[in-house]
Amino acid sequence: MSALSGVIVADFSRVLAGPLAAMTLGDLGARVIKVEPPTGDETRSWLPPVDGEGRSTYFQTANRNKRSIALDLKDEGDRKLAFELAMRADVLIENFRPRTMARFGLDWETVHAAHPTLVYCSITGFGEGAGAAMPGYDPLIQALSGMMSVTGPADGEASKVGVALVDVIAGLNAATGILAALHDRKTLREGQRVEVNLLSTALAALANQSSAFLNTGDSPGRLGNVHPSIEPFSTYATATGPIMICAGNDRQFEQLAVTIGAPGLAADPRFGSNLDRVENRAELRTELEERLGLDSVEYWAEALNDAGVPAGPVNDIGGGFGLADTLGLEPVTEINGIRTTSSPIRLSASPTETRLPPPELDEQGDEIRSWLSGPREEEL
């Protein structure tokens, strides 16, 4: 049996953060009903790229293990169906702008009064206070939070991360909060509201960079691939391309020095401790790349890993999947001809499952409408 068997999720969200949270619950066994407007989730039209059937690969990112029903929340009849769905759900997820759900009678206060055990999750860009009217798009959050200011080359332009990272982390935060609320419901005998906003998510995701600012008052800057606190911990040039080396302690640095044929580097007072290496990183880079340039990235990756020094080439995404496949991690799940990234969660007793492919718009609409019109004790 799946971990969340019997849990019903009403997914009113769209684009990425909310749908990812709902899909995570679906992977864990919940029955997820995706409520879409008649025009569909916006990401259905975000293309290219498309798969062999012309479908948006973006939509497929976050919508497996779901059933789709199209409802026009401006229509009274459809609003009644949406409310009935909320009454039957264990979890409701929405990421509209604040107060939008209130216009449809689906806000937390209204739904909680009628269904006290429901776990209600709201994902916003900037919370529901002074920033309620601000639109929360991932690149904007990356810019406003300071994430872009620490991303990119030291002498270049600030850059966003190459994926909607804040949305992804917000979705995981939402799923975590929902699971905690479901667990707490056993004791409280009541649901609660889970709130996640993208700006707070980004600030928390900045981790050591946020901590550096909070405890020194100085905002970190861009360092490219260099780590602000560890050296060597970056990409370095070899004869055939860059290699990432992460020597996180003195022992690993000593093994690095021996492996590249320069054991004396570990005894050099400029590089004796991590602090020394950070303060003299330019000189250390020159020493390392002089020797790394004598052979290929493939040679050094193998040699350094054999010596216990974390290192590897800078793969493209295909190379990343290839590595995971080689290691037996089963990174790809295929269902009905659609290939998706496998859930990274592994449970020994109640494993995740891919039961349903990303649905077509309103694909299960008739089935869901019939269920919502019948007795509440009936199972979908």
- Specify whether 309 is located in the same domain as 340: no
d(CA 62, CA 337): 16
Instruction: Give tens-digit pLDDT for 211-266.
Output: 999 999 999 999 999 999 999 999 999 999 999 999 999 999 999 999 999 999 99
pLDDT at 131: 87
- Specify whether 20 is located in the same domain as 156: yes
d(CA 306, CA 343): 30
- Specify whether 155 is located in the same domain as 83: yes
61 token code pair: 């990112």
From the candidates 112, 115, 183, 227, which is the catalytic residue?
Answer: 227
Residue that finishes a domain, picked among 264, 283, 313? 313
247 token code pair: 């020597």
Q: Is residue 25 part of a domain?
A: yes
The CA radius of gyration of the chain, in Å to the nearest whole number, is 25
112 is catalytic: no
Task: Please give the single-letter amino acid code of residue 110.
Answer: T
- Specify whether 292 is located in the same domain as 185: no
pLDDT at 360: 96
The torsion of the CA quartet 196, 197, 200, 204, rounded to 10 degrees, works out to 50
For residue 125, what are the domain limits?
A: 8-206+332-373
Instruction: Give tens-digit pLDDT for 59-108.
Output: 999 999 999 999 999 999 999 999 999 999 999 999 999 999 999 999 99
d(CA 131, CA 32): 30
CA 362 and chain centroid, separation: 26
- Specify whether 142 is located in the same domain as 114: yes
Q: Which residues of the chain have pLDDT under 70?
A: none
Residue that finishes a domain, picked among 285, 313, 341? 313
- Specify whether 159 is located in the same domain as 302: no
Q: Is residue 68 part of a domain?
A: yes
pTM: 0.93
Q: Is residue 324 part of a domain?
A: no
Measured CA distances, 148 to 138, 144, 202 (Å): 11, 8, 11
d(CA 194, CA 8): 16
Q: Is residue 323 part of a domain?
A: no
**Total domains, the chain:** 2
- Specify whether 59 is located in the same domain as 157: yes
Nearest to 263 by CA among 271, 254, 272: 254
Q: Is residue 214 part of a domain?
A: no
Edge to edge, the sheet with strand 8-11 lists 66-70, 31-36, 8-11, 91-94, 119-124, 193-197
Q: Is residue 228 part of a domain?
A: no
Report the DSSP beta bridge partners of residue 376.
none
Residue that finishes a domain, picked among 266, 282, 313? 313
Q: Is residue 362 part of a domain?
A: yes
d(CA 239, CA 298): 10
Report the DSSP beta bridge partners of residue 332.
341
- Specify whether 364 is located in the same domain as 290: no
- Specify whether 337 is located in the same domain as 293: no
Q: Is residue 12 part of a domain?
A: yes
- Specify whether 120 is located in the same domain as 262: no
d(CA 91, CA 93): 7
d(CA 202, CA 117): 30
- Specify whether 171 is located in the same domain as 285: no
- Specify whether 280 is located in the same domain as 337: no
236 token code pair: 């370095």
> Which CATH number do you get for residue 307?
3.30.1540.10
> Which CATH number do you get for residue 368?
3.40.50.10540
d(CA 46, CA 137): 15
